Amino acid sequence: MTSREVVLIINSGSSSLKFSLYDRDAPGNTPRYRGLCDYSRTPQVLRIEDLSTTPSTASDMAVGTPAPPERLAAAIDALQRWLAQSGQHLAAVGHRVVHGGPRYIQPVVVDDEVLANLETLVPWAPLHQADCLRAIQAWRKAQPLLLQVACFDTAFHATLPHEAASYALPRDLTARGLRRYGFHGLSFQSIVAQLRHHAPQVAAGRVVVAHLGSGSSLCGMVAETSQATTMGLTPLEGLPMATRCGSVDPGLVLHLLNEHHGDVATVQSLLYRQSGLLGVSQLSGDLRILLASDSDEAAAAVELLVYRIVREIGSIAAALGGIDALVFTGGIGENSPEIRQRVCRRLAWWGLDLDDTANHQAATTLHTRDSRIAIFRLPADEASVIAAAVQTELDRRASH
């Protein structure tokens, strides 16, 4: 079997491991392979899609039924076995890393110092950061000399104005990095590139992007730069999510800590893993299941989500001084016409006029001619952003 030099892009999330594989000489184009290990599926498999065929073809690599703490390691082991069996030779690996803190606002080559610095940020993103770093460490163990590049979800929001990034805390706490960072930045960066192609005049204006999925946040942009966002120091702030509560009264957190005798781990689990759509519905954190359910609790969870999305869109638009376009992305934003419709219906007073046919056909442009605000549906493509960063580093090394 002929070995092919490739660039691997890893997105290690709280609910799945995703990967994309690009040919070394064309990482900015469509990936050659794409894969997913969904941790909610039993038994787990690594689904691998070959995009070089027409139509694309899919195959499964067995992962088994690992316990939750071992899901990532088992998925990576399956991916490494498939890479070896299929004759792929890695030139580099790029990683989505959720938190870069105040230090990392550009992609960075991973070394011991970088890893140590990123480890200190685990408490600020407990559902995500540790798994991001475990993925990096797995490849360091397997191929110690392999180039690995970390790209950060927080980096896109480095342009936030001081007042948008600050909490009303004593200055010494702010100086220690306790401020709002924002997340989903790689997704938002990919939307900027797509919107620049589809509607350059709109991209240069005031745009609210709704990244809606198991984790959700909004970003308000002016001239393609982040000016406001709903997440903060951690990915817990903002909208209700699959299992995360979103913004709550800080006094409520203090109450829970008192109620649980200062047991931080219990309260953290409650807010991150037992709340959100799951907590309200007492059924599931999966929006598809809630929309299909006839229970009052499921309906209440969906209605709460829509309400909060609409309220936060208004808040961000106010911070931008108006809005020229609304973009839906993420697993829910891209795939749920009902949520898009409910959100836009509540904003009809503002001049949003959704084209129902385009919405149900999952078109790119969703607004009617009469709409005062443009509406788009665009796919989140973090992998292409990371691949471009890896290619830049490979080119830099090749030129020296």
Please check whether residue 47 lies inside any domain of the structure. yes
- 322 and 272 fall within a common domain: yes
Whether residue 39 contacts residue 97, with contact meaning beta carbons closer than 8 Å, is answered with no
pLDDT score for 143: 92
145 and 209 belong to one structural domain: no
The residue from 128, 159, 190 where one domain ends is 159
User: Is 340 in contact with 222 (CB distance < 8 Å)?
Assistant: no
Catalytic residues: 153
Are residues 124 and 205 both part of a single domain? no
Element (H, E) at 114: helix 112-119
Residue 307 φ then ψ, to 5°: -55, -45
| Per-residue pLDDT, 361 | 98
- Which of 159, 191, 218 is the last residue in one of the domains? 159
Per-residue model confidence (pLDDT) at position 1 = 42
Place of tokens 């990936």: 31
Q: Are 47 and 37 spatial neighbours (Cβ–Cβ below 8 Å)?
A: yes
317 & 210 share domain: yes
Closest CA to 209 of 62, 330, 113: 330
166 found inside a domain: no
In a domain, 396, yes or no: no
Q: Is position 392 within any domain?
A: no
| Residue 28 sits in the same domain as residue 143 | yes
Six token digits for residue 345: 């219906």
Same-domain check for residues 123 and 237? no
Same domain, 148 and 252: no
Strands of the sheet with 217-222, listed across from one edge? 225-229, 217-222, 206-211, 325-329, 374-377
Question: pLDDT at position 13, please?
Answer: 76
What tokens appear for 350 in the block? 């503002």
Q: Is residue 185 part of a domain?
A: no
DSSP H/E element including 290: helix 287-292
pTM, whole model, 2 decimals?
Answer: 0.95
Contact between 154 and 185 under an 8 Å Cβ cutoff? The reply is: yes
Pick from 159, 181, 211: which residue ends a domain?
A: 159
Burial of 210 (0-12, 13-18, 19+ CB in 10 A): buried
Give me the pLDDT at residue 27, please.
57
pLDDT value at position 53? 86
Long-range Cβ pairs for the range 346-353 (8 Å, 24+): 346/306, 346/307, 346/310, 347/310, 347/313, 347/373, 350/323, 352/326
In angstroms, rounded to a whole number, what is the distance separating the alpha carbons of residues 319 and 363? 29
pLDDT given for residue 42 in this prediction: 86
How many Å apart are CA 351 and CA 146, to the nearest integer?
A: 52
**How far is it, in rounded angstroms, from Cα 172 to Cα 218?**
28
* Chain-centroid distance, C-alpha 159: 19
Alpha-carbon span 22 to 88, nearest angstrom: 10
Q: How many domains does the chain have?
A: 2
Say if residue 58 is in the same domain as residue 152.
Answer: yes
3-class state of residue 154 by DSSP: coil
The answer to whether the CB of 328 falls within 8 A of the CB of 376 is yes
State whether residue 242 is helix, strand or coil: coil
Same domain for 279 and 365, yes or no, is: yes
Residues 10 and 116 in one domain: yes
By CB neighbour count within 10 A (0-12 exposed, 13-18 middle, 19+ buried), where does 370 fall? exposed
Residues in the chain: 400
Are 65 and 205 found together in one domain? no
Sign of CA dihedral 326, 331, 334, 339: negative
Give, for all 400 residues of the chain, the pLDDT tens digit.
Answer: 445 789 999 998 777 899 999 998 765 668 999 999 988 888 999 999 999 888 899 999 999 899 888 899 999 999 999 999 988 899 999 999 999 999 999 999 999 999 999 999 999 999 899 999 999 999 999 899 999 999 999 999 999 999 999 999 999 999 999 999 999 999 999 999 999 999 999 999 999 999 999 999 999 999 999 999 999 999 999 999 999 999 999 999 999 999 999 999 999 999 999 999 999 999 999 999 999 999 999 999 999 999 999 999 999 999 999 999 999 999 999 999 999 999 999 999 999 999 999 999 999 999 999 999 999 999 999 999 999 999 999 999 988 8
User: Domain check: are 143 and 233 in the same one?
Assistant: no
338, part of any domain: yes
Q: How far apart are CA 116 and CA 37, in angstroms?
A: 27
Smallest Cα–Cα separation from 93: which of 107, 112, 81, 74?
A: 107
Tell me which residue range forms the domain holding 284: 199-377
- CA distances, 184 to each of 77, 197, 219 (Å): 26, 21, 9
- Structure tokens of 69? 């703490």
Integer Rg of the chain from CA: 21
The pLDDT, as a whole number, for residue 188 is 98
168 part of a folded domain: no
- Does 180 reside within a domain? no
- Residue 301: CATH number of its domain: 3.30.420.40
CA-CA-CA-CA torsion sign (360, 361, 362, 366)? negative
